[in-house]
Amino acid sequence: MQGATWIVAIGLAAAIQAPPAPSNSGSQACDSDRIAALVGKKWTERDRAVVLQRSGARRLRVYVRGMPVTLDYSPDRLNIETNAKGRITRLGCG
């Protein structure tokens, strides 16, 4: 029985490890602080290119609060959460 407990403990430790830190080897890191002034403003797709350029992100995901999204971590992705009226409520990278 002790062997089974040890295996479970090792499995849990592996599952809770933090994702790897982004490397500086050519990948662009996202910085949502650069565009923090957008919170509270209405999101429009025509702003996509400017937001990507200013944030340094390579990819962008826009979603409405409560909408299901994947939980995968991507350091070069900017996430923009909006409310039902299209106003930006949260910005974050990952």
Domain locations along the chain: 28-93
pLDDT value at 14 more than 60: no
Q: Report d(CA 34, CA 87) in Å as an integer.
A: 18
pLDDT value at 18 more than 50: no
Strands (E), 2-87: 59-64, 77-82
pLDDT tens digits, residue range 28-85? 689 999 999 999 999 999 999 999 999 999 999 999 999 999 999 999 999 999 999 9
Q: Does domain 28-93 have CATH number 3.90.120.10?
A: no
Nearest by Cα to 91 from 21, 52, 12, 46? 52
State the Cα angle at 25 between 23 and 31, rounded to 5°: 55
Alpha helices in the chain (DSSP H): 2-15, 48-55
The CA-based dihedral angle spanning residues 47, 60, 67, 16, taken in that order and rounded to the nearest 10 degrees: -150
